[in-house]
Structures are given as structure tokens and as C-alpha cells.
């Protein structure tokens, strides 16, 4: 009731032109269709995320409400999922409520969310925005030579949607468990060097649980001032983390870069053992891909035990293009005799010679034992041609050959093709055909028969931007489920067949 | 709770875009460790924020145009800031990326994604043009036609004197 009154007050403020400074953003997604293998008939669902923010100079406050309703089912959620107040003044920031934060490079703590992603939980069949944020208080202060962060709060369990219940009669599942407190302190003894450490303590909600803590120390060195005379740049970052107070674990992350005017090199090394803390996210060291088949084949980090490296070289030839070569390796030791290996080699070339033509080609090969893929080759070409009227036509062709050590047949192929059209006014359309002979995808879970051969997933996408305030995307057809990744964070997407409309508004 | 949610939805759907939206301040690190504070940048004139990541192809395609805008308008007070969303790994990866491409506008690293959330950015790239008084003048999600952006920048910047054309 109290919050309602505050909202009403905010609404009145909005109606009064003197005060202004209220923004309302919504993300509305409506579906009419089914999840093959789970739904026997089409279901209409609506998800709406509403963010109301108030800002006045350095002060900002807001709430997020999430509403989900699957018509004709008991699946419905009406929740205020986030609320916050934030104050920024020069280098000082104070937040109360829900917040994002990172300590070091995320080995001990990383509170974040994946913007713009709406997922459906397979277990609870609820749609929601995945978050691993904190609810509590956070303060940070930055001066020229000193940086300090202090926080306390309850982390969200990212794969439990708001409104999830268990048992009969249904009981709400706590999305936030345990209290985490800690911080980070770093100093710059000289401008290019930053030395620091992080510390965390966990107070479990359930008495008797292990009280787990963690700490890390790091060094961040900018080598560019020393290399500048030679026309080079470089940097190095190293962090060692230790988990204690309960299950013991440790993690080492090293990264660096070195380059000149055209050639750039970057490298990363990881060695994580028992570093899955629920509220952290150690860097994955896996190359992020936007190409559909590559993105779907991304290796998912196992922070319980993973060791590996990534190195990438980029060569830019001005007015010609960019050549990228990447080598990634990861090994998981999951038991005395169980090890899995992920390997990836990636080459790509992006032509940057013509202002009206974008052309990129890539070739990628490797293996991922954890996904049961012992060999794969993926190649693709992405092109976009702009016409004199500003419209553009795009073509995206990707092909994969892969094999598994089990299943029948063991070898399979995937072909993905997309043709698109874009108008400079902000609307466009795309036709997508995704064909596979993967026996796990070809067999339809909704039938008793075992289908073989190939299966095609057709869809169309229409999108429109209507001024600064609205944009909309309409999807019709069928899409595969599986792994999808955004900004290096991977999640599972359910398959879908039907109609989907998304509308974003920004006021 | 339902009543409260419907109240929020009511406000979200009945609102009309007549109100200026003011941006809240942030303070982010640049790749060299120096800090960039939005309110300070706004003291010099309008600020164009471009949310991008090294793995985002449309972001990369749009960067030469942004650099062109930066070169053209920097002397008239426009500050272009590329807000990197590579996450914790950004600091390692963006220098090899930027140097080869001769990107000269300012870069800020949003390692915890806090500014992306604060600005309600849901897709990369997204460009947000902010007037010196903090008003968000234009928001473009996805690789967009630069014409409306350039028109909006021209509206915000002081008009060129007739003699300036010949300088």
C-alpha cells in the first residue's frame, strides 16, 4: 500500500510539467504458440517488464515490476522484482536496493543481469528476465589513487524465476538466499599500476550450512607508458582468488595484451577449482560469437573445475579489412578419471574496403566433450549491401558438420540461412531457414515415432522502430532450443513454434 | 500486489512522450585507468553515448561513422563516448581492437553493466544523445541510419558563424 502511494505521487509528479524527470520503460513480449515436446496445444502468454525511474541530478530511484500470464493456466506472476535508490556525487556512489557490482574481475563476486533477454524456465514454465543481481546496499568511492567498494546483500539465484513455487499447497521459492558482505580496496602507487584485493563473507540463511568466504588479490599494470616510445601498447592483469571458510577452492586469472598500430594480441589464462560461488562469475575465456551456429556451440564454463587459455591476434589493414585468429582451450577435471576437453580454432576476415558493402567470412573448428561433440567444423559468410536509397539487403549463410561418439547417426550437419532487408527509416524483415540432421533435433519429442533424416525450422522476423519511443519485433515460425549466449553469459532457450511479438518502449 | 502492478502498467501505457527524460550521472574508468564522469562531460556540451562490445558486428560496422561524427563535431563541443559492454574481460580486449581501427573517441568500461542497466539499454549497439541539460534527445537501438542522429546533434550545437565555413 505504501508503495502504491509513492507510485501515485510519482505519477502526479509526472503529470506536473514543473518536476519532470520520470522515465518509464517497458519490455512487453506476447506469445501465441507452443513449446514442442511440452505443450500439446498452443498457449497465449504475455510478459511485461515495467521500469519506473525517477532521477534528480545525482539521485535516482526506481522500481521494476514483472507480470507474466499464460492464459488458461495457473501460471501467472505479478511481482515487484527490483527497487533501488542510487546517489552519485563525483567519485562516490551509494546504492540501496537492487544493484549490479563486480569485485576484481568477478572471481569472488559479480552481480549482473542480461539486458533485453526474456527466458522461459523449463522447470517452472514461467517467463522472466534472468538476473544475478544483489539486493542490499553498495557503496563505492574513487579518487585518483584509491578505489574502494563495500557491499552487503542477498544475491539472486539466476535460474529461479520470480513467482516460482514448489509443493502442494504451493510455497514460494526464495530467489535470494544467504547474506553476502565484503568489498574491494585498490591503490595506484604510480599511475599505471593498480594493486588491490577483495574479500567476501557469506552468512547462510540455514543454520548449520558452511559459512563460506572468499578473498582475492590482483595487480593491474598498464605497460603502455613504457612501450609508447616503441609505438607499442600493452597491459597485464593477474588475480588470484581463494575460497575458504567451508569448501576450499581457488582460482587464477591472468590476462594481457600487446600490440602496435595494426597488429594486436591478447591472451588470457584461467585455472579454477571449486570456484562456483553462486554470486560470482569468473571470466569464461571463451570467444563470444554472434553467428547463430557458433553462438549455439559456445562452451559453457564449469567453474567447479576448469583450466585453459585463450589467445587472439587481430590484424587490421586500413581500407581493406580485419583478420582475426583465435585459439581457445579448456579442460575440466570432473573426477579422478573423468576429464573433458574443449578446443576451438577460429579464423575470420571482415572486408572493410567498401562503404556500401559489409562482408565477413569465418571458419571455426574444434570439439566440446561436455556437449558430446567430438568434432565440428563451422563455416559461414555474412554480407550486407547498401543501395543508393539507403536500403540494405543482407545474406547470412552458415554450415556445420559435426559428430558425436554416440547416437545414430553419429555425424550430422546444420545449415542456417538468413536473408534480410532493412529500410533506413528503421524497419526491416528477415526470412530464416535453419536445417539440421542432428538426430536429437530431428526426432520430434511430441510424437512416439523416431523421426530420421533432416528437419527444417522456418521463420520470419519483422522489426520496426517507431520514433525514439517504441521499437517492435514480430517473430512467426519455429525456432530451435538449446544454448544461447549474450556477452559471454550462456543460458538455455526453450524451442518455440508460433507467433511472438516484442515491444520496447522508452519514455 | 496485483493492484499495484496494474497501477504501474496503467502509468506505463497511458503515458505520452511529452516529457523530457533526464539522465542520471555515472563515473566509469577508461582503458588507461582515468575516470570519465558524465556530468563533467556535459559541462562541455552534448554527449553521445554508444554502447558496444568487441563481439558485436553491427557495433563494429557503426564505429567508423561514429568516429567521423567525433572528428567533425568535437571542436563544437560534442563528446562521443563508447561505453564498452564486454564485461570483466573488456579491459584486455578493447585496446587491440581499437588501436587497429584508429578509433579516437573516448572509451569507458562498464565492467558490471551498471550503466547499461541505468540507461535501459537492451540491445547492442545503442546510441543515446544527451543534451547539456541532461535531456535524452535521441535513442537509437541497433545499427541505424546516421541522418537523424546528425540532425539532432546539429540542433544541439551552437550554429556555425558564416565566416566559419571559410576557415
User: B101 and A322: CB-CB below 8 Å?
Assistant: yes
Q: Is B96 on the interface with A (CB under 8 A)?
A: yes
The CA-based angle A416-A421-A424, given to 5 degrees, is 140
A382 touches chain B (CB under 8 A): yes
Encode pLDDT of A415-443 as tens digits.
Answer: 999 999 999 888 999 999 999 999 988 88
A142/B27 CB distance under 8 A: yes
Residue B129 has pLDDT above 80, yes or no: yes
pLDDT interval class at B161 (50, 70, 90): low
Taking Cα atoms as reference points, which of A29, A132, A126 lies closest to residue A79?
A126
Would the pLDDT of A275 be above 60? yes
Grid cell 524465476 in the structure block, residue: A161
Q: Flag whether A70 is in a domain.
A: yes
Q: Which residues constitute the domain of residue A33? A: 1-85
User: Do A65 and B9 count as a contact with CB atoms less than 8 A apart?
Assistant: yes
CB pairs under 8 A between A and B: 226
pLDDT above 70 covers a percentage of chain B that reads 82
The whole-number pLDDT of residue B1 equals: 60
Q: What is the 3-state secondary structure (H, E, C) of B71-132?
A: HHHHHHCCEEEEEECCHHHHHHHHHHHHHHHCCCCEEEECCCCHHHHHCCCCCCCEEEEECC
Q: What residues of B are in contact with residue A322 (Cβ under 8 Å)?
A: 100-101
Higher pLDDT, A366 or A465: A366
Q: Please write the tens of the pLDDT for every residue from B8-50.
A: 555 555 444 444 456 778 888 888 778 898 989 999 999 999 9
Q: What is the pLDDT of residue B162?
A: 56
Q: Which of A71, A69, A93, A94 is nearest to A79 (CA)?
A: A69
A27, A30, A65, A394: best to mutate for the B interface, most B CBs within 10 A: A65
Q: What digits encode the pLDDT tens for the residues A315-344?
A: 988 889 999 999 999 999 998 999 999 999
Whether residue A348 is contained in a domain is answered as no
Assess whether the previous peptide bond of A210 is cis (omega < 30° from 0). Answer: no
Give the pLDDT score at B10.
Answer: 54
Q: How far is CA A334 from CA A51, A329, A484, in A?
A: 42, 16, 24
- For residue B20 the three cell numbers come to 523530457
> Confidence class of residue A19 from pLDDT cuts 50, 70 and 90?
very low
3-state secondary structure A46-86: EEEEEEEEEEECCEEEEEEEEEEEECCCCCEEEEEEEEEEE
A99, A138 contact by CB (below 8 A): yes
- Residues A116/A27, Cβ–Cβ less than 8 Å: yes
A219/chain B closest Cα distance in angstroms: 13
Predicted pLDDT at A49: 94
Residue among B4, B22, B35 minimizing CB distance to A21: B22
Q: Give the pLDDT confidence score for residue A56 in this predicted structure.
A: 79
Confidence of residue B122 (pLDDT cuts 50, 70, 90): confident
- Chain B interface mutation, best of A147, A196, A468, A484, highest count of B Cβ atoms under 10 Å: A468
Give the C-alpha separation, A52 to B12, whole Å. 8
3-state secondary structure of A200: strand
Q: pLDDT tens across A210-265, in order? A: 668 899 999 999 998 899 889 899 999 999 999 987 788 999 999 999 998 889 99
Cell of B87: 564485461
Residue A207: inside a domain: no
Q: Which residues pair with A87 in a beta bridge?
A: A59, A94
- The per-residue pLDDT for A5 is 52
Nearest CA in chain B to A382: B57
Span A471-483, mean pLDDT?
Answer: 94
Supply the pTM of this predicted model: 0.88
| Contact assignment for A290 to B100 by CB distance below 8 Å | no
The pLDDT of residue B144 is: 78
Mean pLDDT of A71-95: 90
Taking the Cβ of residue B104 and every Cβ of chain A, the question of whether any pair is shorter than 8 Å is answered with no
pLDDT value at residue A210: 67
Closest CA to A364 of A387, A348, A351, A388: A348
* Residue-level pLDDT at B71: 95
Give the helix/strand (H/E) hosting A132.
strand A131-132
How far apart are alpha carbons B28 and B2 in whole angstroms?
38
The CA-atom distances, in angstroms, between B97 and each of A23, A51, A437, B8, B63 are 35, 34, 37, 43, 11
CA A97 – CA A86 distance, rounded (Å):
9
Q: CA distances (Å), B69 to each of A22, A392, B103, B108, B139, in order?
A: 30, 22, 11, 18, 16
A8 pLDDT higher than 50: no
- So what's the pLDDT on residue A16? 41
User: What pLDDT score was predicted for residue A12?
Assistant: 44
The per-residue pLDDT of chain A, averaged, comes to 90
Read off the C-alpha cell for A197.
Answer: 584485493
**Interface probe, candidates A16, A112, A223, A392, chain B, greatest B C-beta count within 10 A:** A112
The whole-number pLDDT of residue A20 equals: 43
Q: What domain count does chain A have?
A: 1
A57 close to B (CB below 8 A): yes
Decide if B152 contacts B138 (C-beta within 8 A): yes
Tell whether the model's pLDDT for residue A204 goes beyond 50: yes
Contact list, A50 vs chain B (CB under 8 Å): 8-9, 12
Cell of A482: 538449446
Range in A94-98, A495-499, B26-30 with the lowest mean pLDDT: B26-30
What's the rounded mean pLDDT across residues B122-135? 90
SS3 A40: coil
Give the pLDDT score at A404: 93
d(CA B87, nearest CA chain A) in Å: 7
Can you tell me the mean pLDDT for B66-87?
Answer: 93
Of chain A residues 35-54, which have a CB less than 8 A from chain B? 48, 50-53
pLDDT score for A414: 97
Q: Is the pLDDT of residue A312 over 90?
A: yes
User: What is the C-alpha to C-alpha distance for residues A120 and A170, in angstroms, rounded to an integer?
Assistant: 19
A37 assigned to some structural domain: yes
Mean pLDDT value of segment A375-385: 96
Average pLDDT over every residue of A165-174 = 88
CB contact (8 A) between residue A23 and residue B120 = yes
Q: Do residues B110 and B28 lie in contact, with contact meaning Cβ atoms separated by under 8 Å?
A: yes
Say yes or no to pLDDT of B113 above 80. Answer: yes
pLDDT given for residue A245 in this prediction: 75
Percent of all residues in chain A with a pLDDT value above 70, rounded to a whole number = 95
Which residues 134-163 of B have a C-beta within 8 angstroms of A? Answer: 136, 138-142, 144-145, 147
CB contact under 8 A, A113 and B117: yes
Long-range contacts of B103-107 (CB under 8 A, 24+ apart): B103/B63, B103/B67, B104/B67, B104/B70, B104/B71, B105/B66, B105/B67, B105/B70, B105/B79, B105/B80, B105/B81, B106/B30, B106/B36, B106/B79, B106/B80, B106/B81, B106/B82, B107/B30, B107/B31, B107/B81, B107/B82
Contacts of A78 in chain B (CB under 8 A): 1-2, 5
Q: Report if residue A14 sits inside a domain.
A: yes
Confirm whether A73 is domain-assigned: yes
Q: How far apart are CA A196 and CA A213, in angstroms?
A: 18
ipTM score for this prediction? 0.82
pLDDT-above-90 percentage for chain A: 64
Task: Tell me which residue in A113, A290, A322 faces B113 most closely, judged by beta carbons.
Answer: A113
- Give residue A448's pLDDT band: very low, low, confident or very high (50, 70, 90): confident
> Nearest Cβ partner of B92 from A255, A260, A262?
A255
- Predicted local confidence at residue B82, as pLDDT: 95
**Would A10 be classed as within a structural domain?**
yes
| Residue that wins the pLDDT comparison between B4 and A417 | A417
Q: For residue A57, is pLDDT > 90?
A: no
For A99-125, how does the pLDDT look when each residue is reduced to its tens digit (9 = 90+)?
999 999 999 999 999 888 999 998 999
Between residues B117 and A250, the one the model is more confident about? A250
* Interface test mutation site (partner A, options B89, B107, B111, max chain A beta carbons within 10 A): B89
Give yes or no for residue A147 having a pLDDT over 50.
Answer: yes
Task: Enumerate the residues of chain A whose CB falls inside 8 A of the CB of residue B60.
Answer: 350
In this complex, the residue of A8, A288, A468 whose CB is nearest that of residue B139 is A468
Q: CB contact, 8 Å: A94 with chain B?
A: no
Q: Does B91 touch chain A (CB under 8 A)?
A: yes
Residue A378 maps to a domain: no
Q: Can you tell me the distance from the alpha carbon of A85 to that of A74, in angstroms, rounded to the nearest whole number?
A: 34
Q: Is residue B61 within 8 angstroms of chain A, CB to CB?
A: yes
A147-151, A335-339, B117-121: range with lowest mean pLDDT: B117-121
B3 confidence band (pLDDT: 50, 70, 90):
low
Amino acid at each position: 500500500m505504501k508503495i502504491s502511494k509513492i507510485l501515485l505521487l510519482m505519477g502526479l509528479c509526472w503529470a506536473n510539467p514543473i518536476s519532470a524527470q520520470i522515465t518509464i520503460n517497458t519490455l512487453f513480449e506476447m506469445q501465441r504458440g507452443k513449446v514442442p515436446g511440452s505443450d500439446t496445444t498452443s498457449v497465449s502468454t504475455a510478459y511485461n517488464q515495467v521500469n519506473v525511474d525517477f532521477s534528480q541530478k545525482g539521485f535516482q530511484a526506481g522500481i521494476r515490476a514483472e507480470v507474466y500470464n499464460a492464459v488458461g493456466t495457473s501460471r501467472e506472476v505479478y511481482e515487484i522484482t527490483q527497487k533501488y535508490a542510487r546517489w552519485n556525487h563525483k567519485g562516490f556512489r551509494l546504492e540501496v536496493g537492487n544493484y549490479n557490482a563486480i569485485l576484481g574481475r568477478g572471481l569472488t563476486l559479480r552481480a549482473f543481469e542480461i539486458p533485453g533477454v526474456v527466458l522461459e524456465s523449463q522447470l517452472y514454465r514461467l517467463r522472466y528476465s534472468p538476473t544475478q543481481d544483489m539486493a542490499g546496499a553498495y557503496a563505492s568511492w574513487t579518487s585518483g589513487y584509491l578505489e574502494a567498494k563495500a557491499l552487503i546483500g542477498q544475491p539472486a539465484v539466476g535460474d529461479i524465476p520470480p513467482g516460482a513455487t514448489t509443493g502442494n499447497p504451493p510455497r514460494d521459492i526464495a530467489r535470494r538466499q544467504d547474506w553476502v558482505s565484503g568489498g574491494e580496496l585498490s591503490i595506484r602507487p604510480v599511475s599505471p599500476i593498480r594493486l588491490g584485493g577483495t574479500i567476501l563473507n557469506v552468512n547462510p540463511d540455514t543454520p548449520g550450512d558452511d559459512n563460506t568466504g572468499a578473498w582475492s588479490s590482483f595487480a593491474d599494470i598498464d605497460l603502455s607508458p613504457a612501450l609508447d616510445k616503441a609505438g607499442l601498447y600493452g597491459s597485464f592483469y593477474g588475480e588470484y582468488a581463494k575460497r575458504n571458510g567451508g569448501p576450499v577452492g581457488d582460482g587464477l586469472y591472468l590476462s594481457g595484451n600487446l600490440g602496435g598500430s595494426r597488429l594486436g594480441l591478447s591472451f588470457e589464462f584461467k585455472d579454477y577449482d571449486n570456484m562456483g560461488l553462486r554470486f560470482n562469475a569468473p571470466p569464461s575465456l571463451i570467444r563470444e560469437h554472434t553467428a547463430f551456429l557458433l553462438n549455439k556451440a559456445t562452451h559453457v564454463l564449469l567453474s567447479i573445475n576448469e583450466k585453459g587459455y585463450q589467445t587472439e591476434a587481430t590484424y587490421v589493414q586500413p581500407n581493406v579489412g580485419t583478420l582475426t585468429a583465435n585459439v581457445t582451450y579448456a579442460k575440466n577435471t570432473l573426477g579422478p578419471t573423468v576429464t573433458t576437453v574443449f578446443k576451438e580454432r577460429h579464423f575470420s576476415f571482415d572486408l572493410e574496403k567498401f562503404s556500401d558493402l559489409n562482408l565477413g567470412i569465418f571458419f571455426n573448428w574444434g570439439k566440446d566433450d561436455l556437449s558430446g561433440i567430438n568434432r565440428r567444423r563451422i563455416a559461414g559468410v555474412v554480407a550486407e549491401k547498401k543501395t543508393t536509397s539507403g536500403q540494405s539487403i543482407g545474406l547470412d549463410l552458415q554450415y556445420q558438420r559435426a559428430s558425436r561418439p554416440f547416437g545414430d547417426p553419429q555425424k550430422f550437419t546444420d545449415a542456417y540461412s538468413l536473408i534480410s532487408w532493412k529500410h533506413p527509416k528503421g524497419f526491416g524483415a528477415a526470412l530464416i531457414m535453419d536445417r539440421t540432421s542432428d538426430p536429437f533435433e530431428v526426432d520430434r519429442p511430441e510424437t512416439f515415432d523416431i523421426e530420421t533424416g533432416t528437419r527444417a525450422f522456418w521463420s520470419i522476423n519483422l522489426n520496426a522502430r517507431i520514433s525514439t519511443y517504441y521499437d517492435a519485433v514480430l517473430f512467426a515460425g519455429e525456432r530451435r532450443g538449446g544454448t544461447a549466449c549474450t556477452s559471454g553469459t550462456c543460458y538455455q532457450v526453450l524451442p518455440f513454434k508460433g507467433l511472438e511479438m516484442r515491444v520496447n518502449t522508452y519514455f | 500486489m496485483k493492484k499495484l502492478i496494474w497501477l504501474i502498467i496503467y502509468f506505463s501505457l497511458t503515458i505520452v512522450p511529452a516529457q523530457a527524460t533526464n539522465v542520471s550521472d555515472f563515473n566509469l574508468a577508461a582503458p588507461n585507468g582515468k575516470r570519465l564522469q558524465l556530468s563533467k562531460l556535459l559541462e562541455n556540451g552534448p554527449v553521445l553515448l554508444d554502447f558496444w562490445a568487441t563481439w558485436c558486428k553491427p557495433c563494429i560496422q557503426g564505429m567508423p561513422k561514429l568516429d567521423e561524427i567525433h572528428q567533425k563535431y568535437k571542436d563544437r563541443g560534442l563528446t562521443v563516448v563508447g561505453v564498452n559492454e564486454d564485461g570483466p574481460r573488456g579491459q584486455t580486449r578493447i585496446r587491440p581492437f581499437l588501436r587497429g581501427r584508429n578509433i579516437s573517441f573516448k572509451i569507458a568500461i562498464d565492467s558490471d553493466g551498471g550503466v547499461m542497466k541505468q540507461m535501459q539499454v537492451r540491445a547492442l549497439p545503442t546510441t543515446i544523445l544527451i543534451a547539456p541539460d541532461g535531456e535524452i534527445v535521441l535513442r537509437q537501438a541497433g545499427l541505424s541510419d546516421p541522418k537523424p542522429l546528425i540532425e539532432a546533434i546539429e540542433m544541439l550545437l551552437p550554429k556555425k558563424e558564416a565566416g566559419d565555413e571559410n576557415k
